[in-house]
Amino acid sequence: MQMATIGATPNGGVNRVALSHEDKLGRDLFVGWCKEAGCSVEIDQMGNIFASRAGRNNKLLPVLAGSHLDSQPTGGKYDGALGVLAALEVIETLNDQKITTEAPIEIVSWTNEEGARFAPAMIASGVFAGEFTLDYAYSRIDKDGLTLGDELDRIGYKGKSVVGNRKYSACFELHIEQGPILEAEKKSIGIVTGVQGISWSDIILVGKETHAGPTPMKYRIDPVKSSLPILSEIYALADKYTPHARATIGYLKAEPAIRNTQPGKLVIAVDLRHPDKKTLSLMHKALIRIAEKETSNSSISGTVKEIWRSEPVNFSSTCISMIDNAAKKLGLSSMEIISGAGHDSVYISRVAPTGMIFIPCENGLSHNEMENISKEDAANGTNVLLHAILEASSMH
Ligand SMILES: [Zn+2]
């Protein structure tokens, strides 16, 4: 709740967009808490924050737990922050109980998970796992033309340690489900087996802008009008690959976006998802065909540009069973679940054994200021995280 006062919005949500002043304040608060808990804190070149608690044998690879502290512009209190602060709570609990684990434990807060200000999302964990170069990440620009690298510098979180130099025996991320399944199935804990693949594409339709009055309809080359069958076919694509497929049209950007000018250009921002790699690829190919089909016999030019793809992920069976053991030990109801949202754990799973724990969120709402969880679910999820970390940190 104290973290959520930073960037608090009037509707009860949070606006702590990556590398904003609020993000800096949230980071400062978190770093202060980690130091109070006796952790040593290190910042890497991407601004990822690592807080370490020593174990009995510090030659063993540490166990990592965490998530992200940045939010959507109209985000909720728990998306990301729960996983970071739950990891800190685990360490505080170990301190209170005077327990020293065999292997060291680290908490992480990844930079710019949301991708709301700097696309693509999960960029810092992506650099960590070798998906993006540091230069690529630094050169990302926001809508005001500011670069991620400069903004990292400005808020004082461009650290010195090399990104991706750290190795882990196991990584855990506790997160709210951001969907309605656990609540509907009346389960306390989601044992995440993997993450849906995601493909982001822009469909760019180019016509000719013209005056809204003097130009009769038949003389127009109107990309907005041409988009109508394309839009409905995108939704039909999700129906075709039901129940796991998702198709979202996040925004339509007409240019020049003036009421009395028929636009000359329309960008359709599409988000396609599926847990199966081959099906996701089929969906993307179908998207290209849809745009081709609807523009081939018109004066509109249509191109589809895939700007980002994250392949589906299967999490580590070892981490999955540690989470399962923890839920059983605590007597909590649980189920296996596939994550519909992208997470830093997607990239981290490429370089270390990784698992995720979900807890229910009210009405499945997330990326929404009304996002809410119960104290009981938060405590249950954090206890599962604790016991999974205890098992992982005693393995060697
Ligand atoms: Zn998140």
365 Cα: distance to centroid of ligand 1 (angstroms): 13
pLDDT-derived band at 192 (thresholds 50, 70, 90) equals: very high
86 Cα: distance to centroid of ligand 1 (angstroms): 14
Contact assessment for residue 89 and residue 130, using Cβ atoms and an 8 Å cutoff: no
| Predicted TM-score of the model (pTM) | 0.83
pLDDT-derived band at 181 (thresholds 50, 70, 90) equals: very high
CA atoms 244, 250, 255, 257: torsion sign: positive
- What distance in Å separates the CA atoms of residue 69 and residue 77, rounded to the nearest whole number? 10
- 13 pLDDT more than 90: yes
Burial of 124 from C-beta contacts in 10 A (0-12 / 13-18 / 19+): buried
- 395 pLDDT more than 80: no
175 Cα: distance to centroid of ligand 1 (angstroms): 7
- What distance in Å separates the CA atoms of residue 287 and residue 293, rounded to the nearest whole number? 10
73 Cα: distance to centroid of ligand 1 (angstroms): 13
Per the structure block, which two tokens stand in for 263? 């636009």
When pLDDT is averaged across residues 188-195 and rounded to a whole number, the result is 96
Neighbours of 107 (CB within 10 A): 28
- 64 pLDDT more than 70: yes
pLDDT-derived band at 127 (thresholds 50, 70, 90) equals: very high
pLDDT-derived band at 223 (thresholds 50, 70, 90) equals: very high
When pLDDT is averaged across residues 151-164 and rounded to a whole number, the result is 98
Residue 396 pLDDT: 56
Q: Which of 91, 304, 349, 97 is nearest to 204 (CA)?
A: 304
The 10s digit of each residue's pLDDT in 21-63 is: 999 999 999 999 999 999 999 999 999 999 999 999 999 999 9
92 Cα: distance to centroid of ligand 1 (angstroms): 23
